[in-house]
Amino acid sequence: MKPCILITGGSSGIGKNIALELSKEYSLIFISRDISKIQKVVATLHSPNEHFIFECDLLDFDKLTETMREISEKFKIQAFIHSAGVSYVSYAKNFDFNEMIDCAKINLYSAMLIVKFLLKKNLKPYLKDIIFISSTFSKKGEIANSFYASTKGGLDAYMKSLSLELAPNIKVNSILPGGIFETGMTKNLFDEEQKQQILKKYPLGEGKTQDIAQGVKFILDCRWISGQQIIIDGGYSV
Ligand SMILES: NC(=O)c1ccc[n+]([C@@H]2O[C@H](COP(=O)([O-])OP(=O)(O)OC[C@H]3O[C@@H](n4cnc5c(N)ncnc54)[C@H](OP(=O)(O)O)[C@@H]3O)[C@@H](O)[C@H]2O)c1
């Protein structure tokens, strides 16, 4: 069997393209809340029969614990990629506590719970990489995105300490994408005129989900990189 990569958020956008990029070399284990959607993605991958789906909503921590138990009995996971995420666009004065908790559970706490499982005695020896899909908003302020940014900032702070805890055998890194306009999260946010205005701030022009997937592949292939927030944003943050 090919080496196994556990991935969240594989049903759509950036995660879907990461899956496509990695499906030739790896067997992918998907945690997804929408079985029919993820089945359609798997059908488009290299060697569809070598990938496996586990149904779980990341908001349901009891189910996630049960799912991780099942996965850990069946697979030796070599890498974990957390691409699942939701945005939370709100001015600070309008924050809704329940919505904030849901956003933090998906973007941050579910990743921590999954990692906790992967560090169990019987699984840890197989684990080589942890990669979080964070955001440039983790480093750069953005009006009406402060809560989303804080979940990504939390993810990056967790990543850095974790990289020290888990060295030298496990690399832990984040990728901070700039705006990718073709995903479920972003495709209805802006009209064409607004999009072209925003793209003026991107020296390398428009980024695609493949650009982020290539970053993931780069980290997996690179032996000597850990604890890093790798910005892939076409030069936007410069
Ligand atoms: N697009 C951008 O401009 C951009 C920029 C910076 C960072 N990011 C980050 O990139 C990652 C991927 O986002 P995207 O842009 O590709 O958006 P997307 O197309 O909406 O993908 C989000 C993924 O998260 C999954 N997800 C959401 N809530 C979930 C839940 N409760 N349980 C299980 N899975 C859940 C979705 O599953 P379903 O298909 O079932 O909804 C989907 O697979 C996110 O972490 C996002 O914060 C995106």
Q: Is residue 237 part of a domain?
A: no
* Contact criterion met (CB below 8 Å) for 21 and 213: yes
Q: Is residue 63 part of a domain?
A: yes
Half-sphere exposure (Cβ direction) of 89: Cα atoms closer than 13 Å? 3
- Segment 205-221, tens digit of pLDDT: 999 999 999 999 999 99
Question: 168 alpha carbon to ligand 1 midpoint, in Å?
Answer: 30
Residue 52: the pLDDT is 98
Q: How many domains does one find in the chain?
A: 1
Task: Return contacts of 212-217, CB within 8 angstroms, 24+ apart.
Answer: 212/14, 212/17, 212/18, 212/133, 212/175, 212/177, 212/180, 213/14, 213/17, 213/18, 213/20, 213/21, 213/22, 214/21, 215/175, 216/18, 216/21, 216/22, 216/81, 216/131, 216/175, 217/21, 217/22
Task: Report the residue among 6, 11, 14, 67 best suited for mutation to probe ligand 1: largest number of ligand atoms under 8 A from its CB.
Answer: 14
Q: Is residue 36 part of a domain?
A: yes
Q: Is residue 182 part of a domain?
A: yes
Which residue's structure tokens are 């983790």? 138
Task: Report the residue among 7, 8, 12, 210 best suited for mutation to probe ligand 1: largest number of ligand atoms under 8 A from its CB.
Answer: 12
CATH classification of the domain holding 20: 3.40.50.720
Residue 1: the pLDDT is 84
Q: Is residue 228 part of a domain?
A: yes
Domain boundaries, position 39: 4-232
Question: 158 alpha carbon to ligand 1 midpoint, in Å?
Answer: 19
Weakly modelled stretches of the chain, pLDDT under 50: none
Residue 208: the pLDDT is 98
Q: Is residue 25 part of a domain?
A: yes
Task: Report the residue among 185, 216, 229, 236 best suited for mutation to probe ligand 1: largest number of ligand atoms under 8 A from its CB.
Answer: 185
Question: 170 alpha carbon to ligand 1 midpoint, in Å?
Answer: 25
* Contact criterion met (CB below 8 Å) for 228 and 174: yes
Q: Is residue 22 part of a domain?
A: yes
Q: Is residue 238 part of a domain?
A: no
Binding pocket residue ranges, ligand 1, CB within 6 Å: 8-9, 11-15, 33-34, 37, 57-59, 83-86, 106, 133, 135, 177, 179-180, 183-186
